[in-house]
Amino acid sequence: MARRFNYRRLKIHFSYTIDEAARVLGAHKHTVRSWIEEGLPVVCRQRPILISGGVLRDFLSARRSRSKTSCGPGQLYCLSCRSPKTPAELMADYTPLTAKTGNLTGLCPDCDRFIHRVVSLAKIELVRGKLEVGFPQGLERIRQTTSTRSHCDLKKKA
């Protein structure tokens, strides 16, 4: 179960270091780091890493609504319907957020609004289910290269 953090304490126009954000939220700094791993965007990758208060609020609020009803494979969360949905036409687009994570976007079959899911590129094969996922050009090439490489590694081990 995801712990609830009082993200309303964060000032929207203020940037926090990991330690500061952890202190304001009463979270462990490892927890804040794990959010960055999950795809929380940071202001600057150089040290000290800064997180915008507004971005962190949005991230935690989206995370909380996701934890209420978790999406199964091939499902994205519709904020309007407040439930996981399988996108119309079984189609979704991947938009990178960081090198390792991105946003899957599709259309809600019931309300025609955009539905989203933040996914890690490493887990996308598990998350996509039956969906046809469109990748930006270039990224698809990188992904294919990576999967070919891991395939070769597997072969070597066998």
| Residues binding Zn ion (CB under 5 A) | 78, 80-81, 108, 110-111
Q: From CA 85, how far away is CA 75, in angstroms rounded?
A: 5
At residue 105, the 3 state secondary structure works out as strand
Please name the residue that has the structure tokens 């954000």. 21
Rg (CA), the chain: 17
Closest approach, Cβ 81 to Zn ion, in A, equals: 3
Q: Which amino acid is at 92?
A: A
Q: In the complex, which residue's CB is closest to Zn ion?
A: 108
Task: Output the smallest distance, CB 61 to Zn ion, in A.
Answer: 18
- Select 110 or 140, whichever has its Cβ closest to Zn ion: 110
Nearer to Zn ion, 111 or 152 (CB): 111
DSSP assignment letter at 44? B
Minimum CB separation from Zn ion for residue 85, in Å?
Answer: 6
- What the block records as the tokens of 156 is 């070597």
Q: In whole angstroms, how close is the CB of 84 to Zn ion at the nearest point?
A: 10
- Pick the closer one to Zn ion by CB: 52 or 86: 86
